[in-house]
Structure 1
């Protein structure tokens, strides 16, 4: 694959849903794309729980990444998933 280059279309949605009138929220992320002869399909999904402070957001999500790759001779499929802890600081 080192001599191949391609550009693939990817579309997705990212956001958060605030729970009632609290600082808790549900972060979500979904994307999907691909289409060329190199990258057949790729997708990623994440869903979790977060808390918003005045200076930062902390979230714990479960993330899934799927990637299908093919060059006509061999195919590779990667599916990775697991928890992720993140922080966003505002200044």
Structure 2
């Protein structure tokens, strides 16, 4: 058995060999899952911050620069932009 045949019969080849199409699909799935987890974590963080802010009503905020940059304008939730699979691939 030559070395190439030996490698092709190995579990490393079977488990870690991908086609371009399968890599794109895996990248897209992973990106979608990660993006949703990031959005969910940021949403929970914002909700916790708003809850803490509303429960501390009447307590002066410790905002150093006097702006309200962390709050949402008019209560709107802004869309959180994540990298696309193509942008991740370029990195």
TM range (shorter): under 0.3
Q: Which has the higher strand share?
A: 1
Q: Rg: which structure is higher? A: 2
Q: TM-score, normalised by structure 1?
A: 0.22
TM-score, length basis structure 2:
0.22
**Higher helix fraction: Structure 1 or Structure 2?**
2
Bigger relative contact order, structure 1 or 2 (CA pairs below 8 A, ≥6 apart)? 2
